[in-house]
Structure 1
Amino acid sequence: MTATQTKKALLNKIECAYMPVSDPGVSAEWYERVLGLKLRSPVKPGSGAIMIMGGGQWLFLLPSPGMTPLTFETTGWAGEGESFEMFPLCFETDDIAALHASLAESGTWTEAAVRDEGGCGLQLDFKDPDGNKYQAWQPPAQKGE
C-alpha cells in the first residue's frame, strides 16, 4: 500500500458498550426509568444487565467490585491546557430537552442547561448514579424543520 492509497475502515460502528456499575439491578432500574432504555431480560444475582437503546444497540451494565467510574482527565478538550473530566461515550438523542428534564428530575448530576453548539448541534453532559460520565448529542435541525 502506498502513501496515497487509503485503507478501507475495518470497523463500522459501536454495536454495544460495557459499563461498570455497583449494582446492575439498581442501575438497570435507573437506566430504564430515567433514560427510557429497555431491560432485555431480568437481572440475575451476581450477573449484569443488558439495556437496549432506541437504535437497538446494547449497553451492558456489569458489576464492578470497588466501582471506579468510567471517566478520565484530559487536557485536549477544555483549551489552554486546562484539565477536563472527559466522558468516554457520546449518545445521540432526538429529544435532548426531555432527556435533560428527566435527568434533572432524577437528581443525578447533569449540566445546568443544554448547550447549543451551532453546527455541531445540542449537547449535554451527565452522569449515571455510579458516576459514569456521558455526553448526549442532538444533531442540528435541518433547514425547514
Structure 2
Amino acid sequence: MSVTSTKKALLREINCAYVPVTDPAVSAEWYERVLGLQLRSPVKPGRGAIMIMGGGQWLFLLPSPGMTPLTFDTTGWAEDDELFEMFPLCFQTDDIQALHASLIASGAWTEAAIRDEGGCGFQLDFKDPDGNKFQAWQPPAGQGD
C-alpha cells in the first residue's frame, strides 16, 4: 500500500508491550527502582509482572526460557549501511537527564551521552539487565506534550 493511501488507519496506538526476561520478580524490581515504573500486583511464581508506565500503558515482563533479548541487527538505521543493533521499542520520557543518571547509577548499559537530535529532540539508547535494548526519547520543548 502506498504512503499516500487515504484508507483510515485501523491501528491507533500501542496499548502495551511484552518484554522477555529471565526472572520477572528481579526485573520488576529493576524497572521499578531504575525506571520508576509501578508494579501493578505482586509477581506470582512462574508468571510475569505487569509494570505501569507514566502514561498508564502496561509493560508486561514475561519469563522467557532460553532468554533471547529484544534486539535485532539492521542496516536501515546507521550511516553508510553499517550494521546497527536496533531497539524494538522507543519510550517517551519527560526527563531524559534523570533517566540517564538513574541508568548510570544502576550500572546498566547506556550510551555515554544523551544525543541532541535538534528538531527530533533528545535520544538515549539503553539496555535492561537481560539485554533488552530500548530507546528513550524526549521531544523538544513545546512538542509531545
TM norm structure 2: 0.94
Which one-letter code corresponds to 1:13 in the other structure?
A: E
C-alpha distance in structure 1 between counterparts of 2:14 and 2:141, whole Å: 24
The Cα RMSD (Å) is: 1.2
- In structure 1, what is the equivalent of residue 22 of structure 2? 22
CA deviation digits over 1:11-38, x for unaligned, max 9? 1100000000000000000000000000
Q: Which has the larger radius of gyration?
A: 1
- In structure 1, what is the equivalent of residue 114 of structure 2? 114
Check if 1:81 corresponds to 2:81. Answer: yes
Which one-letter code corresponds to 1:78 in the other structure?
A: A
Within a 5 Å distance, the mapping from 1:6-85 to structure 2 comes to 6-85=6-85
SS in structure 1 at match of 2:81: coil
Which one-letter code corresponds to 1:110 in the other structure?
A: T
C-alpha distance in structure 1 between counterparts of 2:131 and 2:67, whole Å: 9
C-alpha distance in structure 2 between counterparts of 1:142 and 1:8, whole Å: 28
- In structure 2, what is the equivalent of residue 129 of structure 1? 129
C-alpha distance in structure 1 between counterparts of 2:135 and 2:16, whole Å: 16
**1:31 to 1:5, Cα distance in 2 relative to 1, 3 A:** closer
Which one-letter code corresponds to 1:109 in the other structure?
A: W
SS in structure 2 at match of 1:80: helix
Q: Specify every segment of 5 or more residues in structure 2 that has no aligned partner in the other structure, as ranges.
A: none
Cα deviation for residue 5 of structure 1 reads 5.8
**1:81 to 1:46, Cα distance in 2 relative to 1, 3 A:** same
C-alpha distance in structure 1 between counterparts of 2:32 and 2:48, whole Å: 14
**1:64 to 1:142, Cα distance in 2 relative to 1, 3 A:** same
Q: Specify every segment of 5 or more residues in structure 1 that has no aligned partner in the other structure, as ranges.
A: none
Which one-letter code corresponds to 1:74 in the other structure?
A: T
Structure 1 residue runs of 4 or more that deviate by more than 2 Å after TM superposition: none
CA deviation digits over 1:96-125, x for unaligned, max 9? 000000000000100001000000000000
SS in structure 2 at match of 1:29: helix
SS in structure 2 at match of 1:137: strand
C-alpha distance in structure 1 between counterparts of 2:79 and 2:99, whole Å: 27
